[in-house]
Amino acid sequence: MPIITVENLHKRYGEKVAVADVSFTVDEGEIFGVVGRNGAGKTTTIECVAGLRTPTSGTVRVAADLKQEVGVQLQDCSLPDKIRVGEALDLYASFYANPARPADLLAEVGLDPKKKFATLSGGQRQRLSIALALVGKPRIAILDELTTGLDPQSRRDTWELIERIKERGVTVLLVTHFMEEVERLCDRVAVISEGRVLAVDTPAGLIARADGSDRVIFRTTGSVEALKSLPEVASVSVVGDQVTVTGNRDVLHAVVAALPAGQIADLRTERTTLDDAFLTLTGL
Amino acid sequence: MAVIIPARLAVVEAKLYLREPVAVFFAVVLPLALLLVLGAAIPDFRKPAEDMGGYRPVDTHLPAMMIMLSVLTVAFSILPSVLVLYRERGVLRRMSTTPVRPISVLTVQLALNVATAVIATALMLVFGNLILDVPYPRMFLAFLGVFVLGSVTMFGIGLALAAVAPNSRVVQGAGAGVMFPLLFLGGMWLPRPLMPEVLVVISDYSPTGAFGQALTDVFTGRAPSLLHLAVLAVWAAAAIFAAARWFRWE
């Protein structure tokens, strides 16, 4: 039984269609990603799920109390400059019936409760924002672009935090445009383009869908004619002494087994990445 | 539709309010200092003035103007700035995802600013009495009534400003742009008895002219004119309607 069901969501502002037709379901306990280019309709979609916007048509069902049991982290939401980190968390904790202990959350996100909001770095603000989304001990956390603008270390720290949230059984709905983030965190993703869902799948499923082929690239002085007849190989191309062989997942083993040892140099393989899959799916 | 104000929200907003000393300075310290310094430094203010109906300006016109200055500072400048800044920065939107509704923040901010104006007024009455021998208003209930009606009007106008201003820069400019002409019409720099006739009529129908004269009247021991009370009530109703109609949380 899904905890979030979105069916034929359509949202229009005047003449401008922000979301054309989006449907997906999120199961309890999973990390579900919504990916797409800027302006694809990701944020509008999850703001409809969070109850911040009313769909023009279509249905959004959330099997939880939107105010008490759903924690939301939004883009472009900040706090008063002079509020201290500890005050902000205590304040938000006071809004909920059964909140987490602010001190525990602060330790988890590694923030100093005495610091004022204005003095926090971008990464610290982002972590505070996540902490505020979690302070009500939500069953569902909705996080919009949570690592945009963070340095690589803060980004990894944030990912670990999300993984710990998932371990507690919290369902996470995550908007992102980082494929690395999707690969690391998401159980399933919906790829959205121009307000429509192109695919809903696991990250591995998306890669397989886009183009399953692997490429083996090496230099050799010997003949590569024999490779062309192998069942694992789809194509062989030679430019000077550089050879590129494409094929299925076993193509690397087949190539290495078919050529005499000592004739291959600078061998590397390229796999279809989630980035490639995303670009293929969204039409580039 | 009861608005539940979480105690913690009131405490945190109060702390944030006090962390902006500029606000407290302009709303409390400045009017009080002006009352005491002008009252002490200008001998004419302590002599019965013919155009003031034989009363000392320091007992009537001066405290009325300084009380109005304090109310206008919080209502036109401090309250709208904070509300628009909170809206602009998503503070209200953020709160709307929690069990607490953003109208709680508005209510707390309104209460804090009203409290500031009340404290400033009380300090001016007490120190005016101790230092300049300004008598307490004889018709104290009438004084309270005029103060409450005038404050409702001014805060209503402030909320309407916050409702229609697109961003915090505009609301600060608009607040000042509205406040100074209104203070002038209220008689801050040119007391109403010295105004040309046309200006008196305009002043009569302006919120500050009505508020300033009604306050001066109760300090003098006279009942405020019905015209001025009606003008205040109409401005209050119009402003509160506009604020309720156009206020946006995001």
Tell me how many residue pairs between chain A and chain B have CB atoms under 8 A apart: 60
What angle is formed at CA A30 by the lines to CA A27 and CA A34, rounded to 5 degrees?
90
Taking residues A160-165, report their average pLDDT: 90
Residues 167-226 of B with CB under 8 A from A: none
- The answer to whether residue B119 is domain-embedded is yes
**Is the pLDDT confidence value at A262 over 90?**
no
Q: Which amino acid is it at A237?
A: S
Computed from CA positions of residues B170, B172, B175, B179, in that sequence, does the dihedral angle turn out positive or negative?
Answer: negative
- The strands making up A214-220's β-sheet, listed across from edge to edge, are A233-239, A242-247, A214-220, A264-270
The three state secondary structure string of A51-84 is CCCCCCEEEEEECCCCCCCEEEECCCCCCCCCCE
Q: How far is B19 from chain A (nearest CA, A)?
A: 7
% of chain A residues with pLDDT over 70: 99
- The answer to whether residue B11 is domain-embedded is no
The boundaries of the domain holding residue B82 are 22-246
Which of B5, B18, B98 would you mutate first to test chain A, the one with the most A CBs within 10 A?
B98
Question: Is B89 in contact with A78 (Cβ distance < 8 A)?
Answer: yes
Taking residues A75-82, report their average pLDDT: 87
Q: How far is A115 from chain B (nearest CA, A)?
A: 14
Q: How far is B216 from chain A (nearest CA, A)?
A: 39
Residues in chain A whose Cβ is within 8 Å of chain B: 50-52, 67-68, 70-72, 74, 76-80, 82-83, 87, 90-92, 94-97, 132, 136
- With a CB cutoff of 8 Å and minimum separation 6, the contacts of B153 are B207, B211, B232, B233, B235, B236, B239
B chain contacts of residue A76, beta-carbon cutoff 8 Å = 90
Q: Which of A76, A91, A92 is opposite residue B90, by nearest beta carbon?
A: A76
Q: pLDDT band for position A260 (50/70/90)?
A: confident
Q: Which of B20, B93, B100 is opposite residue A74, by nearest beta carbon?
A: B93
A chain contacts of residue B24, beta-carbon cutoff 8 Å = none
**Tokens encoding A31:** 């990390």
Rounded CA-CA distance B208/A210 in Å is 70
Which of A81, A83, A91 would you mutate first to test chain B, the one with the most B CBs within 10 A?
A91
- The answer to whether residue B12 is domain-embedded is no
Rounded CA-CA distance A131/A161 in Å is 10
Rounded CA-CA distance B235/B231 in Å is 6
Q: Which of B8, B89, B97 is opposite residue A91, by nearest beta carbon?
A: B8
- The answer to whether residue B17 is domain-embedded is no
Question: Is A50 in contact with B7 (Cβ distance < 8 A)?
Answer: no
Walk me through the domains of chain A, giving residue ranges and CATH numbers. Answer: 2-201 (3.40.50.300), 211-272 (3.30.70.100)
- How many domains, chain B? 1
Name the pairing type of β-strands A171-176 and A31-35: parallel
Q: Which amino acid is it at A45?
A: T
- The answer to whether residue B128 is domain-embedded is yes
- The answer to whether residue B105 is domain-embedded is yes
* Nearest Cα residue to A6 out of A55, A53, A43: A55
Largest Cα separation within chain A, whole Å, is 74
Q: Which has the minimum average pLDDT: A38-47, A161-170, B3-12?
A: B3-12
Mean pLDDT of chain A: 89
**CA closest to A48 among chain B residues:** B97
**CA closest to A90 among chain B residues:** B8
- With a CB cutoff of 8 Å and minimum separation 6, the contacts of B14 are B108, B112
How many CB atoms are closer than 10 A to CB B171?
Answer: 27
Q: How far is B89 from chain A (nearest CA, A)?
A: 6
Which of B5, B93, B94 would you mutate first to test chain A, the one with the most A CBs within 10 A?
B94
- The answer to whether residue B126 is domain-embedded is yes
Predicted pLDDT at A284: 55
Q: Which residues of chain B have pLDDT under 70?
A: 1-4
B chain contacts of residue A90, beta-carbon cutoff 8 Å = 8, 12
Q: Which of B8, B20, B93 is opposite residue A94, by nearest beta carbon?
A: B8
Query: Which ipTM did the prediction report?
Result: 0.87
Q: Could you tell me if A57 and A96 are in contact, meaning their C-beta atoms sit under 8 angstroms apart?
A: no
Which of A47, A62, A78 would you mutate first to test chain B, the one with the most B CBs within 10 A?
A78
- The answer to whether residue B7 is domain-embedded is no
Place of tokens 């809206």: B87
Predicted pLDDT at B1: 43
Q: Which of B85, B86, B100 is opposite residue A95, by nearest beta carbon?
A: B100
Q: Which of A52, A80, A132 is opposite residue B16, by nearest beta carbon?
A: A80
A chain contacts of residue B8, beta-carbon cutoff 8 Å = 90-91, 94
Per residue in A221-252, pLDDT (tens digit) is 888 888 888 888 888 888 888 888 888 878 88
Per residue in A105-160, pLDDT (tens digit) is 998 888 999 999 999 988 888 889 999 999 999 999 999 988 877 888 888 888 99
**CA closest to B20 among chain A residues:** A82
Question: Is B94 in contact with A77 (Cβ distance < 8 A)?
Answer: yes
Q: Which amino acid is it at B41?
A: A
